[in-house]
Amino acid sequence: QVQLVESGGGLVQPGGSLRLSCAASGSIDSISAMGWYRQAPGKQRELVAYRNSHGSTNYADSVKGRFTIARDNAKNTGYLQMNSLKPEDTAVYYCNANLAVGGYEYSYWGQGTQVTVSS
């Protein structure tokens, strides 16, 4: 069964760093595009970072210069490196990826991982 499994969330102090991972498992051919989203309590889910199939990236203004999206194709895993974290970064973070399976592309979501930035 194809799925995305997230890890790396937790509690961190303001100014700290975390790295989120999103591993694709199952019989996949490749990962094309991947995005990281977050949803804070009472707010809509928002796009944080996105990497397309050509490697181009874009970021929400609120995280530019602090977050970096990356991917390890050999491990079928994507990452979100988060530095200089702020309390307003507190949210559940979700990865979304277009996975090539049997010659077709499908969109998958991870289960979400909680990131809490607090002193």
Alpha helices in 1-119 (DSSP H): none
Q: Which percentage of the chain shows pLDDT scores above 70? A: 100
In this prediction, residue 11 has a pLDDT band, given cuts at 50, 70 and 90, of: very high
In this prediction, residue 27 has a pLDDT band, given cuts at 50, 70 and 90, of: confident
Phi (first) and psi of residue 87, to 5 degrees: -55, -30
**Could you tell me the two tokens for 9?**
């969330």
Phi-psi region of 103 (alpha: psi -120 to 50; beta: other; left: phi over 0): left
